[in-house]
């Protein structure tokens, strides 16, 4: 499969990315590193509060775009916090 045009992968958390114990699969980090090696950004999206999402990704928080509180709060540590209407501008080549 050709993923050369993929620039961003976004995933819901509960019931999608997290298991029934509310944990990430150890396989996630392998897949995440493969995406990063191909310059594919990852975004965690949830109704959860930002800090709760942040705590789910130890060691890689500064490489993730967090879409929290049902999209009303977006954070990319490399940039700054901003409202959902402003966040597209930080995604290079995705506007």
CA pair distance 4, 46, nearest whole angstrom: 27
Q: Between vectors from CA 59 to CA 36 and to CA 84, what angle results, nearest 5°?
A: 70
Q: Out of 12, 14, 27, 62, which one is annotated catalytic?
A: 12
Element (H, E) at 11: strand 8-12
Integer distance in angstroms from the first to the last C-alpha of the chain?
A: 24
CA distance 74 to 3: 25
For this structure, is 2 an active site residue? no
Active site residues: 12
């Amino acid at each position: 499969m050709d993923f050369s045009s993929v620039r961003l992968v976004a995933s819901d958390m509960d019931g999608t990315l997290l298991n029934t114990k509310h944990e990430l699969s150890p396989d996630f980090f392998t897949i995440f590193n493969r995406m990063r090696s191909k310059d594919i950004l990852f975004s965690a999206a949830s109704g959860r509060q930002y800090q709760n999402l942040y705590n789910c990704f130890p060691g890689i928080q500064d490489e993730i775009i967090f879409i929290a509180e049902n999209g009303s709060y977006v954070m990319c540590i490399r940039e700054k916090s901003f409202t959902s209407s402003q966040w597209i501008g930080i995604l290079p080549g995705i506007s």
